[in-house]
Amino acid sequence: MVDFATFQAVVDLNAAYAAVLDAQQWDAWPDFFLDDCVYRVQPRENYELGLPLATLSFESKGMLRDRIYGIRDTLFHDPYYQRHVIGLPAIRRLDGDTLQVEANYAVFRTKPDQLTDILSVGRYLDIVKRTGDGWKFASRQCIFDSEMIPNSLIYPI
């Protein structure tokens, strides 16, 4: 059980995270993470079977910044907008200034000349730590439910 202020801080962290990605403010995305962090996008089947294969896997804030460089300067793709809908977080464990949190998510994709479709649905499995700059992700695993993904996953989930 956590106090309301801690719960609300996690809700606010997820809301700010979604707002930055939805506004394509890519430079702000790594600031949600600790320098030594993990960010993974992995199919549910692999996660549940303990298989390490992930669609995306980054192990530091530097790797997150490299991904942003790739989005802006090296990857060629049809542009699209994302819209994140993140459910209320379930705080599974509290250990001092570290939380284990789970929240469902849905990410919608809209290409300017097409109808909106569902890009990804699943759950976030997070380890969140309190820092002097507020709560940050030590780890964010995006476990998507479908075995199928679009032919390219460009933007963070």
Q: Going by C-beta distance under 8 Å and a sequence separation of 6 or more, which residues neighbour residue 156?
A: 21, 29, 39, 67
Cβ-based neighbour number of residue 51 at 10 Å: 11
Domains (ranges, CATH) in the chain? 4-144 (3.10.450.50)
Distance in angstroms (rounded) separating the CA atoms of residues 23 and 17: 10
- The stretch 54-72 carries a mean pLDDT of 94
Question: What's the pLDDT tens digit per position in 109-156?
Answer: 999 999 999 999 999 999 999 999 999 999 999 999 987 776 678 899
Burial label, 81 (beta-carbon count in 10 A; 0-12, 13-18, 19+): middle
Question: What's the pLDDT tens digit per position in 49-62?
Answer: 999 999 999 999 99
